[in-house]
Amino acid sequence: MIDKRRFDEQGYVVARGLFGAEETTFLRDHFMRLREAGEYPGDVVGVDPGSDDPLKRYPRMIHMHRWDRIALDWLLEPRLERSLTMLLDGVEPFAVQTMLYFKPPGARGQAVHQDQYYLRVKPGTCIAAWMALDPCDGDNGCLQVLPGSQDWPVLCTIDADTSRSFTDVTVPLPYGAELVPVLMEPGDVLFFNGSLVHGSEPNRSDRFRRSLVGHYVRGEARECALWYYPALRMDGSTVELEPSVGGGACGEWVERDGRPVIELTGVGVDPHRTE
Ligand SMILES: O=C(O)CCC(=O)C(=O)O
């Protein structure tokens, strides 16, 4: 049973044990085998098996559902469809992306960000289904979220610390904002709103932290960034959306009556950036 009220109030919810041990072991082994066998369309960095950087030995895979039937079947899986439709108030989701994070021992994390910065969905926002394929904890760089930030507009980005993050931009957080670690077991699925601030720390353990991620947009969406085309209905058919265009405003923190508030004063959300 998924706690929809928690999702609405905090911007995220974990569906514990949505997938079984056999299924997650199968998916983990399947993607490890593929990764160790070579490179694929959607890889944004190449594979270098001899590199000192763990993320060059095991880079993220992206959009595997475009060429791998197992990834496509997972993205459109009825359990995900039912959960997403419920969280979206009965509106069907359209599927736009798959990703596999291997996050081997020693790998950098991903600085905090909002997925909507990349997907540029209009109207509304996107939603993610992030499934653990390994136990995820503080040591191996579990996902961290900022509850309540799902109601923020897209924030203007600043430079990230690339010694800790493999991406180079992040969002500034107001003083006192506390990220919450999301501890998960294989088969648990974290659903989170596309405007929720989230990210992860480096993997300081000797264990992998693998996760399989699907990104979706609300079926009422009319626009989305071009990188995510084509969008798919949950029966696998293609949906026509318009590509979002233009730089667009972004939010900056200002102080009002001694409190931090966001004003849409900034410009410079780059619509061509991919996550
Ligand atoms: O898995 C991570 O460390 C980051 C994942 C993430 O930010 C995402 O799926 O949008």
Q: How far is the CA of 213 from the centre of ligand 1 (A)?
A: 8
The preferred substitution site among 55, 58, 64, 130 for testing ligand 1, maximizing ligand atoms within 8 Å of CB, is: 130
Q: Assign 122 a pLDDT band (cuts: 50, 70, 90).
A: confident
Which of 64-78, 109-123, 189-203, 241-255 comes out lowest in average pLDDT? 241-255
- Classified as helix, coil or strand, 219 is coil
From ligand 1's centre to the CA of 258, what distance in Å? 33
How does residue 242 score in pLDDT terms, banded at 50, 70 and 90? confident
Round to whole Å and give the CA distance between 228 and 243: 9
Q: Give the per-residue pLDDT at 246.
A: 56
Q: Measure the CA–CA gap between 95 and 74, rounded to whole angstroms.
A: 11
pLDDT tens for 183-224 read: 999 999 999 999 999 999 999 999 999 999 999 999 988 888
Q: Residues 138-186: pLDDT tens digits?
A: 999 999 999 999 999 999 999 999 999 999 999 999 999 999 999 999 9
**Amino acid 248: pLDDT:** 66
Look at ligand 1, atom 6, and give the residue with the nearest C-alpha: 199
Mean pLDDT of 238-265: 83
CA 221, CA 203: separation in Å to the nearest integer? 35
| Single pTM value for the model | 0.94
Who contacts 174 (Cβ-Cβ below 8 Å, separation ≥6)?
A: 253, 260
Q: Is 123 helix (H, G, I), strand (E, B) or coil?
A: coil
Share of the chain above pLDDT 90, in %: 75
Q: Which atom in ligand 1 lies closest to the alpha carbon of residue 115?
A: 10
Nearest to 216 by CA among 140, 127, 148, 131: 127
What is the reported pLDDT for 17? 98
- State in Å: Cα 118 to ligand 1 middle: 13
Ligand 1 site residues, Cβ closer than 6 angstroms = 101, 109-110, 115, 128, 130, 143, 198-200, 211, 213
pLDDT in tens, 11-22: 999 999 999 999
Residue 59 predicted with pLDDT over 70:
yes
The residue-averaged pLDDT of 19-38 equals: 97
Nearest-atom number in ligand 1 for the CA of 99 is 9
- DSSP E strand stretches across 60-208: 61-62, 93-101, 110-113, 126-132, 143-145, 158-159, 169-170, 180-181, 189-193, 198-200
Given a cut of 60, whether residue 272 has pLDDT beyond it is no
Per-residue confidence (pLDDT) for residue 275, from 0 to 100: 61
